[in-house]
Chain A
Amino acid sequence: MKRFQSFSLLAVMLLFASSGFAQAPAGGLTPAQMNAKAKAQNVPEIPFDSVPNFLKLPPNLFLGEGIGVATNSKGHIFVYTRSQNTRLFEFDQKGTYLKEIGEGLYGFAFAHAVRVDPQDNIWAVDEGTNMVIKFNPEGNKVLMVLGRRPESVAGIPLTPAPAAPVPPAEKYRFNRPTDVAWDAAGDIFVSDGYGNSRVVKYDKNGRFITSVGTKGAAPGQLNLPHSITADAKGNVYVADRSNRRIQVFDNDLTYKAIYDQVGAPWALCVTPGSHQYLYSSNSNPDNNNSEIAAVTGEIYKMELDGTIVGKFGKAGKGLGDFSTVHEIDCRNDNELTVSEITAWRVQKLMLHPQGKK
């Protein structure tokens, strides 16, 4: 009952806010807020809970920025975190700490994403070393690496001027890569990234096939491809974050469609199974600006064709609030695991799409 009430209250508030916005832009939202708010309106709310005290860490082990989270087929949880050093931890399905993976690894400097492929291999994407690292399911062996860490003998790189041109992209080098995905054949798709504005496709053995994207706002161009995922047919969904849209490409990276109703997509996930859904987070910005946080932070559930099914969540620091969601695991449609940047944590969310607990 309580949930129903708050749901209808929210719906009324949304109606009120949107009508107020249409008639008098000054009434309620600032220009910055209007720019940041997702276009989608009257989206149904999906009730959900967050599991309290989910991850249990040993004494003197701490998560830093919760950058990446993924589960394997056993439900084990992998967390790739910006701690004082970037570290990768494994927990069991109940959140009990199991072990650290890749301690002292040459490719770990600044975490960006972790994903688990259909064979349970663990993939870490590191934005600092410009590398994508594939571990075996046990996490005790590196099976393959993509990209190359800049040589430390070159010294500390000077910070480029804000408008400095980006060096041309190379087949096997990344510039602050962000995420990785696979199709059914095992082909590898890397979103690359903050520096290069492209998506690169490799075969399952790491051999370059093709790439798409230059920096820009036209269809097929990208401005910060921040997350990537693929569906069962091999279509590729790219979170084109700074363009505030999701772009869909076919398996050869030919442009197909744009979904631009769901704000700035920070994290994407496509569920497995016969009916696949696409989750996208319109995360509140990581600069801790409360003005923008007031109109962002929610996660959308969509059909693969872009139809919005519902949304849930808001920005905040409490349990069930989101502090800049950075990665979503959706192995189970209604049991998401999300990592957050600014709250240094991972939450397990139980969705109740039928309204039942």
Chain B
Amino acid sequence: MRRISQSLLSTTGLLFTSALMAQTAVPEIAYDSAPNLLKLPEHIYLGEVPGVATNSKGNIFVYTRTGTANATEGTSRTFTHGGARLFEFAPNGNFVREMGVGVYGFLFAHGVRVDPQDNIWVIDEGSNMLIKFNPEGRIVMTMGRKPEAISVGREGGGEGGGRGPAGRPGAGAPGDNFNRPTDVAWDAAGNIFVADGYGNSRIAKFDKNGNYIKSWGSRGTEPGQFNTPHSIATDTQGNVYVADRENKRIQVFDNNGTFKTQYSNVGRPGAICISPGSHQYLFSSNSTGEMEVAEIYKMELDGRILGKFGRAGKLLKEFDTLHGIDCRNPNELFVAETSNWRVQKLTLHP
């Protein structure tokens, strides 16, 4: 009965604003945020944190926009360097190490994920690259290519603005020629799914060795089209969930990219995460920035909403532009915020 009235309300709610719907229909989940979670050494600061992920030991990986991307003068073209760093912390938040010091592809952080073998994958929107580190911290695979140089004083020509090739956003050519990619996920066979991204509006699928298999999607609002595929996750069946952010929906595809369904009652999904285990949950962040809306939905994989929590703000437990979720433990989330330059560990009391 409750479910029926909820879905009725949802249908009606679509006619109104999502904010109104969210306030009236969804139960609140109680939660806490651990104070002073990450302990940073002297002279290391987090900047905007678009991505956070944990490995099987509970260690925490943070990919952050910090320092400054520099351009080189006195050359035949203008090159950019730096601007993003990757840190590892122990489960208690103690600093362990910096990874990938001086890596060519660290330019403008967008996300970090840890695969089931504990490899750490960085997604860089500035260099158009995915960089796979093994658990020891060595680079074992790269995908995509950093634009050699940035365009100065020109629009549309040259080699892009350090954030992907110039030109019209499109579906991209076959291969790992990303244009401002946003996120990565894997299925049980190790196939790689890349959300690509701001520029290309597509999902690209590769085998575990990085060989291109296929891609789907283009810029648009139809099912199977995207307007900023901003986050991606898979379930144990290999279905692919895409946060189609500016279309304000989560789209679900089968393993080959065939459209299955969409969930359009959870606002503007900026970050999604599917928990492991026998009963998987889908978490989705509705975060508008500007201190207006910031909440996380907990859902069943079929889209039923179980509850939500959080609100916009700068205090502990509040969120400002929540950009990444780790849900290895569905009742202990790690969340990354761009506007608050921090990571929070949330303990849920459902």
Contact = CB atoms under 8 A, between A and B. Distances in A.
Chain B contact residues: helix, strand, loop or mixed? loop
A109 interface: yes
Interface in A50-76: 57, 59-62, 64-65
A161 interface: yes
Chain A contact residues: helix, strand, loop or mixed? loop
A159 B154 CA distance: 7
A156 B98 CA distance: 32
Interface string A327-350: 000000000000001111000000
Interface string A113-140: 0000000000000011110000000000
Given A109-B72, A289-B177, A84 B154 contact: no
Q: How many of chain A's residues touch chain B, expressed as a range?
A: 35 or more
A289 to B, nearest CB: 5
A289 B209 contact: no
A318 interface: yes
Contacts of B106: 84
B73 A158 contact: no
B211 A317 contact: yes
Interface string B67-84: 000011111111101100
A198 B76 CA distance: 17
Contact of A62 (B76, B103, B173): B103
Interface string B301-331: 0000000000000000000000000000000
Interface string B140-155: 0111111011011110
A85 B149 CA distance: 13
Contact of A149 (B75, B82, B139, B174): B75
Best-buried of B73, B98, B141 by chain A (most CB within 10 Å): B73
A197 to B, nearest CB: 15
Contacts of A85: 81, 102
Contacts of A64: 103-105
B167 interface: no
A157 B175 contact: no
A287 interface: yes
Interface in B59-110: 71-79, 81-82, 98-106
B152 A293 contact: no
Nearest to B146: A65
A189 interface: no
Contacts of B137: 59
A151 B157 contact: no
A150 B142 contact: no
A62 B175 CA distance: 25
Contacts of A127: 76
A53 B210 CA distance: 19
B76 A130 contact: yes
B212 interface: yes
Interface of B: 71-79, 81-82, 98-106, 137-139, 141-146, 148-149, 151-154, 157-159, 173-178, 209-212
